[in-house]
Amino acid sequence: MPHTPAPRTPDRDDEHHGLVLQPRNVRFDWNALPMHWIPGEPMATHVINVLHLLLPEGERWFVRTFKEALPLIRDERLREEVLGFIGQEAVHAEAHQGVLDHLLAKGLDPRPYTRQAEYLFQRVLGEHPELTGTAARENVVERVAVIAAIEHFTAFLGDWVLNADGLDRAGVDPTMLDLIRWHGAEEVEHRSVAFDLLRHLDPGYGRRIRAMAITGPVLVHLWVRGTRFLLANDPTLAPGQARPSWRAYTAASRRGLLPRLGRAGRSAARYLGRHYHPTQEGSTRQAVAYLGSSPAARAAAH
Amino acid sequence: MSPEPTPLPPPPDLYGRGHDDRFMRLLDRVTRFYLPISTRKDRYGHRTVAPTPALLPVVVAARTVEAEGVVSLELRSPVGTPLPAWQPGAHLDVDLPSGLRRQYSLCGDPADRNGYRIAVRRIDTGGGGSLEVHQDLSVGTGLTVSHPRNAFPFAADPAVLLIAGGIGITPLLPMAREAARRGLDWRLVHTGRSDATMPFAAELAALDPDAARVVRRPDDEHGGPADAAELLGHAPTPGAAVYMCGPAPMLDAVRAGLDGSPGRGLHFERFTAAPITGGRPFTLRLRRSGTTLAVPADRSALDVLRDQDPATPYSCRQGFCGVCRRTVTAGTVEHRDRRLSDQERAEGQMLVCVSRAPEGECLELDG
């Protein structure tokens, strides 16, 4: 059956066509980072810190998987976007690794959790040598579908953090705020790439949906256990001093320190729509505007 | 970190309870069940997807002298169909008949889908691209161009200062047009050697009927080039976003002067690969295939590998992201990257986008 590629061009006047994605060589200095970088908010701090636990391994896995997908791409412009995406993800991984190193130096050993992240992304979701030929190739596409689902959440979080005035009001550590906003802005900037790649490799609805059906709940569970782990191992907290609870989460999200659960749920539901495209979420203009003023991105520009 | 995953035993429980982590084991078990089901059908191979061409054929429909030493070309589809959409800041890669490839910003109106306009300053001491455009591209000449790509996106911030040096006006003119259309608080400063060399005066004036937004500043009428404080001082309000395109010294000065000025964010076109300096020719040998590839002094190992395999991974082309890393199994590498640790280098890793080898050396790459 002849296949007509769906239009990759954004529908909205607001979105840029042919945006060139380039990694930015950012550097962050964590020496002055306090343990609770949202002042007085250990739980909200650690909910966001779960990013640092998961992202270095997760984004390295994105890079490996997309490298494997490169020979399958039959659209040169898409390949160029994928290459830009890979470089941005590679830099993100190292930027978050720096925070992990800092946590360890401050007495919060992240390694029990990051060992699990390594296992998850290298073994469970890694290459499976028992698969060969077309099955190995389909496994690459399946992993791209998982990445497209994860990228829906990273774009949601990126859009949230760019608009989270509550973080400004709370006096968040400026370097950390710049890290999460720079990262969020690049996630918004490249939010269509994994989805477009999936649609190029397998335009079917089934694979997209089942990947989200698995990824969504697993991601939520990883987040919950990451938050618990960080709070339990935070050397500055007395045992039981800051217990994680959904009630505390909701209260923090009302203060604008964390994304609202209802919004996250509705956003995940939109991914299931047949006519979903990532350009419908978030604003490239806002991301571009932040990247022009981000201290780290500005220092990295050349 | 090793670039290739290694088999790992299930990790211990998070709280040191002395057994394997149950959730991780569950995920592993589910995956082993899921893998054969999810990879049974060859969904990729059963479709025939034609390769999507990245290039567009166009024809020169008009040629206009815009200023002393500047011509613009109007490019149209040879069959009269609308061209792909673009936004301010976009450029085209233009393949010239001589084989040279040059990038030119689109300086027309994005609303006009029937034509692309580029403007080129003649540089007699350059690499010959601008001379070819000036001398050989007459009306009716056919060319191949890329789809528009945007490495200088305009965010349409509420207050904007556009700074153009000479022919650097080309990406900023469509930004000014969009700023006017959206009713933004915008200013544009255009500098140049002399009034006669500065293109698009009439178009800029048309966007600024009250003569309140556009400042044209020829160096010869102001006793020399503008400094950063003067340029940034044209910001309409404190906190304005600055978009700039011009010669490197001007860009460096504006970057250095931004803090403490009314400008807030700074946007400019970022170029990826820096020119190769002090490169010597060497060869690459691919261990698996036995193929030998010559790397000339003015090209990178990555360029040569990409010619051979278009799916070669890379990204930043500046030696910092690490995507293009390869393992060298024989030969001495001249490392030029900013990423690899001493240990990674000792293990034979190399970033092929920037790193090279001494003259005549043969580097054997694993894979």
Contact B328, B366 (CB under 8 A): yes
Residues of A in contact with B2 (CB under 8 A): none
CB count in 10 Å sphere of residue B193: 14
Interface of B with A in 122-161 (CB under 8 A): 147-151, 153-157
Whether A12 and chain B come into contact, CB under 8 Å, resolves to: no
Yes or no, beta carbons of B241 and A122 under 8 Å apart: no
Distance CA A218, CA A146 (A): 11
Taking CA atoms, what residue in A is nearest to B111? A13
- pLDDT at position B7 is 61
Mean pLDDT of B129-144: 95
Whether B209 and chain A come into contact, CB under 8 Å, resolves to: no
Whether B251 and chain A come into contact, CB under 8 Å, resolves to: no
Strand spans (E) along B77-150: 90-95, 101-105, 115-121, 142-146, 149-150
- Of the residues A188, A288, A294, the best mutation for testing chain B's interface (the one with the most B CB atoms within 10 Å of its CB) is A288
- Whether B4 and B104 map to the same domain: the answer is no
The structure tokens listed for A279 are: 């350009």
Q: Is residue B313 part of a domain?
A: yes
Yes or no, beta carbons of B320 and A284 under 8 Å apart: no
Three-class SS state of A14: coil
Q: What is the pLDDT of residues B71-86, one digit of tens each?
A: 999 999 999 999 999 9
Whether B26 and chain A come into contact, CB under 8 Å, resolves to: no
> How confident is residue A301, by pLDDT bands cut at 50, 70 and 90?
confident
Three-class SS state of B144: strand
CB count in 10 Å sphere of residue B333: 23
Mean pLDDT of A212-224: 96
Strand spans (E) along chain B: 55-67, 70-76, 90-95, 101-105, 115-121, 142-146, 149-150, 159-165, 185-192, 214-218, 240-245, 263-268, 282-286, 292-295, 325-330, 349-351, 362-365
Contact A76, B56 (CB under 8 A): no
Taking CA atoms, what residue in B is nearest to A293? B265
The pLDDT of residue B8 is above 90 = no
What's A42-300's CATH class?
mainly alpha
Residues of B in contact with A84 (CB under 8 A): 315
- Of the residues A61, A88, A119, A234, the best mutation for testing chain B's interface (the one with the most B CB atoms within 10 Å of its CB) is A119
Average pLDDT, chain B: 93
Whether A128 and chain B come into contact, CB under 8 Å, resolves to: yes
H helices of A70-173, in order, are: 76-105, 111-118, 133-163, 165-169
- Boundaries of every domain in chain A: 42-300
Position B332: which residue type? T
Q: What is the DSSP string of B304-322?
A: HHHHH-TT-----SSSSS-
> Euclidean distance between the first and final Cα of chain A, in Å?
47
Three-class SS state of A259: coil
Distance CA A252, CA A175 (A): 21
Position B195: which residue type? D
Q: Which long-range contacts (CB under 8 A, 24 or more apart) does B287-296 make?
A: B287/B329, B287/B364, B287/B365, B287/B366, B287/B367, B288/B366, B288/B367, B292/B362, B295/B356, B295/B357
Taking CA atoms, what residue in A is nearest to B239? A293
> How confident is residue A28, by pLDDT bands cut at 50, 70 and 90?
very high
Q: Which long-range contacts (CB under 8 A, 24 or more apart) does B273-277 make?
A: B273/B300, B273/B317, B273/B318, B273/B353, B274/B318, B276/B300, B276/B356
Shortest distance between the Cα of A263 and any Cα of chain B, in A, equals 25
Q: Is residue B274 part of a domain?
A: no
The pLDDT of residue A2 is above 70 = no
Beta bridge partners of B159: B185
> How confident is residue A142, by pLDDT bands cut at 50, 70 and 90?
very high
Q: Is residue B276 part of a domain?
A: no
The pLDDT of residue B358 is above 70 = yes
- Whether B187 and B214 map to the same domain: the answer is yes
- pLDDT at position A80 is 95
> B62-88: b or e for each residue (b if 16 or more CB lie within 10 Å)?
ebeebbebbbbbbbbbeeeeebebbbb
Three-class SS state of B219: helix
Whether B310 and chain A come into contact, CB under 8 Å, resolves to: yes
> How confident is residue B64, by pLDDT bands cut at 50, 70 and 90?
very high
The structure tokens listed for A214 are: 């698995």
- pLDDT at position B274 is 78
**CA atoms B106, A289, A194, A114: torsion sign:** positive
Q: Is residue B46 part of a domain?
A: no
Distance CA B242, CA B159 (A): 9
Burial (CB count within 10 angstroms: exposed 0-12, middle 13-18, buried 19+), residue B345:
middle
Q: Which residue of A91, A290, A302 is in closest CB contact with B321?
A: A91
Whether B21 and chain A come into contact, CB under 8 Å, resolves to: yes
- Whether B146 and B210 map to the same domain: the answer is no
H helix or E strand, kind and range, residue B228: helix B228-232
Largest Cα separation within chain B, whole Å, is 80
Q: Which residue of B23, B51, B255 is in closest CB contact with A74?
A: B51
The pLDDT of residue A24 is above 60 = yes
Residue-level length of chain B:
367
Contact A189, A287 (CB under 8 A): yes
**CA atoms A180, A186, A192, A193: torsion sign:** negative
Mean pLDDT of B218-242: 96
Sequence-distant (6+) residues with CB within 8 A of B183 are none
Distance CA A268, CA A273 (A): 10
* Cβ contacts from A onto B, under 8 A: 212
- pLDDT at position A8 is 42
Could you tell me the CA-to-CA distances from B321 to A84, A94, A102, B94, B341 in Å, in that order? 10, 9, 21, 28, 13
The enclosing domain of B80 has a CATH number of 2.40.30.10
Pairing of strands B55-67, B142-146: antiparallel
Residues of B in contact with A292 (CB under 8 A): 155, 241-242, 265-267
The enclosing domain of B331 has a CATH number of 3.10.20.30
Mean pLDDT of B201-218: 96
Q: Which residue of A17, A122, A210 is in closest CB contact with B5?
A: A122
Yes or no, beta carbons of A225 and B50 under 8 Å apart: no
- Of the residues B2, B38, B92, B264, the best mutation for testing chain A's interface (the one with the most A CB atoms within 10 Å of its CB) is B38
Taking CA atoms, what residue in B is nearest to A3? B49
Whether B248 and chain A come into contact, CB under 8 Å, resolves to: no
Three-class SS state of B132: helix
Distance CA A217, CA A214 (A): 6
Of A198 and B9, the one with more pLDDT: A198
Contact A5, A201 (CB under 8 A): no
Residue A113 φ/ψ region, left for φ over 0, alpha for ψ in the -120 to 50 degree band, beta for the rest: alpha
Interface of A with B in 64-123 (CB under 8 A): 64, 67, 70-80, 83-84, 86-88, 90-91, 112-113, 115-116, 118-123
Residues of A in contact with B270 (CB under 8 A): 22, 301-302
Q: Which residue in B34, B98, B104 sits closest to B75, CA to CA?
A: B104
Yes or no, beta carbons of A288 and B27 under 8 Å apart: no
Q: Which residue in B10, B33, B26 sits closest to A123, CA to CA?
A: B10
> How confident is residue B102, by pLDDT bands cut at 50, 70 and 90?
very high
Yes or no, beta carbons of A138 and B42 under 8 Å apart: yes
Distance CA B93, CA B87 (A): 16
Q: Which residue in A107, A232, A164 sits closest to B17, CA to CA?
A: A232
Distance CA A9, CA A13 (A): 10
Q: In whole angstroms, what separates CA A40 from the centre of its chain? A: 25
- pLDDT at position B68 is 96
The domain tally of chain B equals: 4
Yes or no, beta carbons of B321 and A90 under 8 Å apart: yes
Q: Is residue B277 part of a domain?
A: no
Q: What is the pLDDT of residues B266-313, one digit of tens each?
A: 999 876 677 899 999 999 999 999 999 999 999 999 999 999 999 999
Residue-level length of chain A:
302
Range(s) of the domain holding residue B93: 55-150
Contact B333, B345 (CB under 8 A): yes
> How confident is residue A16, by pLDDT bands cut at 50, 70 and 90?
confident
